[in-house]
Amino acid sequence: MAVVERLDGEPGERRRVRLASPATLEPLGVLEIDDAIAVRDAVDRARKAQVDWAAADFSERARPLEKAARLLAANADAFVDRIIAETGKPRTEALAAEILTAADALQFYAKRARHILADRTVPVHLLKTKKLRVTHSPLGVVGIITPWNFPFLLALNPSAQALVAGNSVVLKPSEVTPDSGRLVAELWAEAGLPEGVFELVQGDGETGAALVEAGVDKICFTGSVATGRRVAEACGRNLIPCTLELGGKDPMIVCDDADLDRAAKGAVYGAFANAGQICTSTERVYVVDAVADAFTRKVIEETAQLRQGAEGEFDIGPMIQAEQLDTVEEHVRDAVVKGARVLAGGRRNPDYRGLFWEPTVLDDVTHDMLVMREETFGPVLPIMRVRDVDEALALANDSPYGLNANVWTRSKRRGTQLAKAIESGCAVVNDCTITYGVTESPFGGVKQSGIGRVNGEQGLLGMSHTRSILIDRVGSRAEAIWFPYTARKTAWMKRILRTVWGTSIGRWLA
Ligand code: NAD
């Protein structure tokens, strides 16, 4: 069973892959793969177009973003239909996570970019004869490489940030979900983006690797740890910056004072939304012994309410990629062999032809199981009982990943302390998964979950080259530090050192 099937062609022909719906396995068409020459051509076109785009003022650059948000609002159903065709997501989920979040991001960057990227005067604390201006200019051409789990949002959002900062963009969407990438390109064209400022190349890993080598000025990569490492190596060789938004194994900690009804619903949503294919999915739960029975019972009750389906109203869709379904199966099998109990699901859904895995709850799990150590990226919720919060914290941090985390307690103070103690790029108290969707929130991982931050102010600054311009305010004949070096100058500097940093009044003034 394959959703992406590589086709054999004649020598010299472009490579092609055949695509099928993950929900029904019905054919979706054939994708022609762009080779390295096509990628270079796209980068060249983007580089030429970037010159005028960078010269445009903020209101001109914000206009396509605002128009794109309006187009999304007016045609939401049409966008959702196309995204669903290649992902099988529930309609409400596609609308909330792909369209609504995208519209919010577009409006935010359209409004705020002018302020965030404005030139600033920064007070100079020592050399009062100088004025410091900090400015932000575009990087040039930004290459964006994206995965299949949120194929529209994860392509549109970084491209909006790059574009409003004055860059042009070459997007390489996942070969699993190329039509969502096409949808982003169509949206930008209809929103009035000048030709060449946004370019789309289609293909698989080879096309992505070609983009990294094609002379772009930055790579924004979202995907797996293994590919991220290859991308980082290539960026290192080419000495270009990159952000790497990689996988996660997000822990959930349930304290003894948690609101268990909300925590159980949050666990089920956090683990099963988008069929568990969210980088910030809840992938492992640590629940304090005193409340473990009650919490687990509620989780099972909530899971039993979920409707899996392929059309109409349903909560859980299919896995989007066939290999990912194999990973889910392997993790559950490994857990069961090592002694885990299946409390719900635990198998492919026999009612469907497509890539459906039943929402699965496991307990009696241990840290030597794949399901507690490696990213499962599917609808699986392993629950582990712990003595107390200290043990939960130690286990949460016993992971090579560090993307997101969630903690559940009635005390917001305790929740914040715990969130700070977890080794992760982001954390949530009494909620889950939403960190990428809150536009202002800088997003990214620690450890193997990634490098750099996207979104919000930091995301926009990351799309810019920050430059210091130091301006002499006085215009004296010569600076004291300039030649010639004399014993008098040395003595004068020592006096300054002693006065400014050697006395308490001096330190206070400095
Ligand atoms: P993947 O790494 O297989 O592919 C991601 C993209 O990289 C695709 O477009 C692919 O064609 C391309 N690619 C593959 N080889 C390449 C190479 N050598 N050079 C350049 N590009 C190459 O990931 P996936 O299976 O599409 O996505 C799932 C993964 O993405 C999960 O691990 C998930 O956690 C992660 N993810 C992370 C975030 C985040 O923000 N941290 C968000 C969504 C998904």
Ligand 1 atom at minimal distance to the Cα of residue 176: 26
Q: Report which of residues 336 and 8 the model is more confident about.
A: 336
Question: Fold match between 33-245 and 250-438?
Answer: no
Q: What would the two tokens of residue 328 be?
A: 């889910």
| Separation of CA 247 from chain center | 9
The tokens for 478 are 């010569």
Q: Please tell me if the CB atom of residue 374 comes closer than 6 angstroms to any atom of ligand 1.
A: no
Query: Ligand 1: which residue has its CA nearest to atom 21?
Result: 208
Buried b (16+ CB within 10 A) or exposed e, 2-34: ebbeeeeeeeeeebebebbbbbbbeebeebebb
Map tokens 């998964």 to a residue: 433
| Pocket-testing residue among 89, 221, 222, 376, ligand 1, by greatest number of atoms within 8 A of Cβ | 222
User: For ligand 1, what atom is nearest to the CA of residue 227?
Assistant: 2
By the 10 Å C-beta count (0-12 exposed, 13-18 middle, 19+ buried), 441 is classed as middle
What is the enclosing helix (H) or strand (E) of 102? helix 101-116
Q: Which atom belonging to ligand 1 lies closest to the Cα atom of 211?
A: 20
pLDDT value at residue 507: 85
pLDDT exceeds cutoff 50 at 2: no
| pLDDT confidence tier of residue 1, bands split at 50, 70 and 90 | very low
Give the Å distance between the CA of 444 and the centre of ligand 1: 14
3-state class (DSSP) for residue 111: helix
Ligand 1 centroid vs 443 CA: distance in angstroms? Answer: 16
Provide the pLDDT confidence category of residue 3 given band limits of 50, 70 and 90.
confident
Q: Which residue has the tokens 């187009």?
A: 71
Share of the chain above pLDDT 70, in %: 100
What atom in ligand 1 is closest to the CA of residue 279? 34
313 part of the active site:
no
* Known catalytic membership, residue 279: yes
Residue 345 DSSP SS3: coil
Multiple choice CATH, 33-245, 3.40.1190.20, 3.40.309.10, 3.90.1200.10, 3.40.605.10: 3.40.605.10
Q: Which residue's CA lies nearest to atom 37 of ligand 1?
A: 246
For the Cβ of 205 lying below 6 angstroms from any atom of ligand 1, the answer is: yes
Residues 300-326 pLDDT 10s: 999 999 999 999 999 999 999 999 999
Ligand 1 atom nearest residue 204's Cα: 11
Asked whether the whole model's pTM tops 0.95, one would answer: yes
Give the H or E element holding residue 467.
Answer: strand 464-472
| Residue 75 pLDDT exceeds 80 | yes
Tell me the CA–centroid distance for residue 174 and ligand 1, in Å. Answer: 8
How many angstroms separate the alpha carbon of residue 314 from the centre of ligand 1?
Answer: 27
Binding site membership of 212 for ligand 1 (Cβ less than 6 Å): yes
Tell me the per-residue pLDDT of 192-225, one tens digit each, with 9 for 90 and over: 999 999 999 999 999 999 999 999 999 999 999 9
Give percent of the chain above pLDDT 90. 94
Q: Tokens for 433?
A: 């998964």
Q: Any idea where the domains of the chain sit in the sequence?
A: 33-245, 250-438
Average pLDDT, integer, range 472-481: 94
Is ligand 1 within 6 A of the CB of residue 143?
no
In words, the CATH class of domain 250-438 is: alpha beta
Predicted pLDDT of residue 178: 98
87: which 2 tokens? 């992902």
pLDDT tens string 462-475: 999 999 999 999 99
User: How far apart are alpha carbons 321 and 327 in whole angstroms?
Assistant: 10
- Residue 371 confidence class, pLDDT cut points 50, 70, 90: very high
Q: What pLDDT score was predicted for residue 365?
A: 98
Query: What is the band of 126 on the pLDDT scale with cuts at 50, 70, 90?
Result: confident
Active-site residue identified among 242, 279, 426, 432? 279
Ligand 1 and 224: CB distance under 6 A: yes
Please report, for residues 52, 57, 168, 430, 440, the alpha-carbon distance to residue 112 in angstroms, rounded to integers and kept in the order given.
21, 14, 19, 29, 10
- What burial letters (b/e) apply to 113-145, b meaning 16+ CB within 10 Å? beebbeeeeeeeeeeeeeeeeeebebbbbbbbb
Q: Which two tokens stand for residue 344?
A: 């719900």
Q: How far is Cα of residue 92 from the mean position of the Cα atoms in its chain?
A: 21
Q: Quick check: 186 pLDDT over 50?
A: yes
Cα angle 93, 94, 97; round to 5: 75
Distance 220 CA to ligand 1 centre (A): 11
Q: Does residue 214 have its Cβ closer than 6 Å to ligand 1? A: no
Using the predicted structure, report yes or no on whether residue 53 has a pLDDT greater than 70: yes
Instruction: Determine the average pLDDT of the residues in 331-352.
Output: 98
- CA–CA distance, 39 with 201 (Å, rounded to integer): 6
Mutate to test the pocket of ligand 1, among 171, 206, 224, 374 (most ligand atoms within 8 A of CB): 224
Query: Does ligand 1 have an atom closer than 6 angstroms to the CB of 201?
Result: no
Q: Is 278 in the pocket of ligand 1 (CB under 6 A)?
A: no
- pLDDT for 123 beyond 80: yes
Residue 304 buriedness (CB in 10 A; 0-12 / 13-18 / 19+) = exposed
Could you read off the pLDDT of 233-287 as tens digits, one per residue? 999 999 999 999 999 999 999 999 999 999 999 999 999 999 999 999 999 999 9
Q: Does 510 have pLDDT greater than 80?
A: no
> 63-77 as b/e, with b when 16 or more CB fall inside 10 Å?
ebbbbbbebbeeebe
